[in-house]
Amino acid sequence: MEKTTERKPAVRKLTAGQIFSELSMPILLVLLIIVFAILSPNFLTPLNLTNILVQNVHIAVCSCAVMMIMVSGGTDLSIGYQMSVAAVLMAKTISEGTLPVPVAIILGILLCMVLGGFNGLMGQVLKSHTMIITLGTMAIFQGISYLISGSKSFRNLPDSFMYMGQGRLFGVIPVNVIIMLVIVIIVGVIMSMTSIGRKIYACGDNPEAARLAGLNVARIKVLVFVFAGLLVGIAALLLAARAGYADSGTSGPGIEFTGITACVLAGVALKGGEGTLWKVIVAVFVLGVLSNGMQLIGLGTYPQYIARGAIMLISLYLSNRNAKAM
């Protein structure tokens, strides 16, 4: 009898460059921490490290939304003003006593889901890339936000509302950090361990192949925008609750670019179908540490813009070089 030997599948070995690319965000985060710890004696204090964590909670939640949209093959430039609309609606109705706190929060989050769904629906109806569509809806949502707020800031928010952003569980653990962790875990499980997540990746990677495989690509993409709207609404709540006030100009606008920057740094493909959530969250805190550290050593906002742009360009260069090597 002839002996038959089973051929084991070859294990693909990663090159040093590929390993470095895979771990580039954690490595960069550690390097930045070391550099700023050397340059500023106040950087590694418990108070400052807690500030970095707390100040980037809403950005991390928002970046989860940005990542899901980008993986599905879309881009949403209106997220900042979606947050603005939700934040001023919550703060206005609460501060003026129009609605109870829970009802105002639910209303603000639901409104963000509607705005997100509108973006996704317009993408399917107009058959245009959502980057262009959301450039238009960004202006619409900006107008809605200012109509709601009347260009006013809303303060005097009750402790029950601000507890979401400033409260501490057992007097130690920030409540908003717990909320962020729960959301990150839920989104991570959805994207990596469920059939829904696999469908989102498939629709972003090759929409036509996904359609031929029986997936309702249009419906999936619209639902991604709706779910992203839910996350954006929660991010608006966390931001307004931490700040203790809300207004149309500062409660969200611009955060979409921070989220996109974090996603690009983390290797989320602009064309869709690629991206890992944990890398996105690490990238958020890379940007947070960079901003905080530069502030501590006396470098203001404008040098921070330059540093962020430089890091993004270097990241794109390394990603492209690694893609060619594979």
pTM, to two decimals:
0.89
Tokens of 216: 């309702």
CATH code of the region 56-320 = 1.10.3470
Domain chopping of the chain, boundaries: 56-320
Three-class SS state of 63: helix
Residue given tokens 């890992």 in the structure block: 276
**What span, in angstroms and rounded, lies between the C-alpha atoms of 28 and 312?**
12
pLDDT of 284 over the 80 cut: yes
Could you report the per-residue pLDDT of 138-179, keeping only the tens digit for each? 999 999 999 999 989 998 899 999 999 888 888 888 999 999
| Residue range 18-35: mean pLDDT, rounded | 82
Residue 9 has pLDDT above 50, yes or no: no
- Please report, for residues 83, 88, 252, the alpha-carbon distance to residue 142 in angstroms, rounded to integers and kept in the order given: 10, 11, 11
Q: What angle do CA 259, 56, 239 make, to 5 degrees?
A: 90
Q: 73: closest CA among 199, 184, 187? A: 199
Express each pLDDT in 183-234 by its tens digit: 999 999 999 999 999 999 999 999 999 999 899 999 999 999 999 999 999 9
